Amino acid sequence: AQKITQTQPGMFVQEKEAVTLDCTYDTSDPSYGLFWYKQPSSGEMIFLIYQGSYDQQNATEGRYSLNFQKARKSANLVISASQLGDSAMYFCAMREGRTGNTPLVFGKGTRLSVIA
Amino acid sequence: GAVVSQHPSRVICKSGTSVKIECRSLDFQATTMFWYRQFPKQSLMLMATSNEGSKATYEQGVEKDKFLINHASLTLSTLTVTSAHPEDSSFYICSARATGGGRTGELFFGEGSRLTVL
């Protein structure tokens, strides 16, 4: 079974608008972390935001916020005030367990295109 | 600047040759490093977990004799693709988890290495 599901292969958003990228996850471990990464065409993985399973509040980092709905097992990324430079692949990922020694499992990604 | 350096960033080789990719943590120690492979327009798939001073743990379907991993020091892990074939052409990315110091637990990615096998 897929541990991370990203149902949107591609998304378009108008510059300066907000966009939500969907991510649902599947785990039976009560301790886990959820990550979002941006991957531009250069290939590097750029860390955007992190949400721990015990965090009470939704994570925010500048224009990025994570809409964490634990009961629904969803961790959607919201990008506000989109910029042309936001065009890239976006990956949702999960790490299970407390220790942090486990690897990240990635979703299939969503390609975001910001249009002027 | 980058805290995990991967080298080479691009490599082209002939079929049958071996290629070594280095993953180096620049300002922290990493007892655990992870190696991922990403085919075009696909996600990152975990290949193996590299532990300093011990044998790597490979994911199902990844040939350990073909993808040799060595993690001989706390700052360096290497992936050697032996007898490379065109189907091994891919983007290989490492990540390292910081242990000790102010960055304990943080996970950092290398810039990736694009392998093309002719």
Name which of B32, B43, B112 is nearest A107 (Cβ-Cβ). B43
pLDDT in tens, chain A (116 residues): 679 999 999 999 999 999 999 999 999 999 999 999 999 999 999 999 999 999 999 999 999 999 999 999 999 999 999 999 999 999 999 999 877 778 999 999 999 999 99
R_g over Cα of chain A: 14
A109 vs B: CB within 8 A: yes
Distance CA B112, CA B118 (A): 19
Residue of B nearest to A47 (CA): B108
One-character DSSP codes across A28-50 = --S-EEEEEEEE-TT---EEEEE
* Structure confidence at residue A31 (pLDDT): 93
Contacts of B49 in chain A (CB under 8 A): 103
Distance CA B56, CA B34 (A): 9
Are A103 and B109 within 8 A, CB to CB? Answer: no
Distance CA A57, CA A59 (A): 6
- The whole-angstrom distance between B28's CA and the closest CA on chain A is 16
Name which of B34, B91, B105 is nearest A103 (Cβ-Cβ). B34
Distance CA B48, CA B63 (A): 10
Amino acid at residue number A93 = A
* Structure confidence at residue B27 (pLDDT): 85
Are B105 and A100 within 8 A, CB to CB? Answer: yes
Are A104 and B107 within 8 A, CB to CB? Answer: yes
B90-99 and B29-38 strand pairing = antiparallel
Are B32 and A101 within 8 A, CB to CB? Answer: yes
Check: CB of residue A68 under 8 Å from CB of residue A80: no
* Structure confidence at residue B102 (pLDDT): 56
Tens of pLDDT, residue by residue over B93-108, are: 999 988 765 566 678 9
Q: In this structure, how many other beta carbons lie within 10 angstroms of the beta carbon of residue B113?
A: 24
* Structure confidence at residue A87 (pLDDT): 98
Distance CA B83, CA B80 (A): 9
- Split at pLDDT 50, 70, 90, the class of B54 is confident
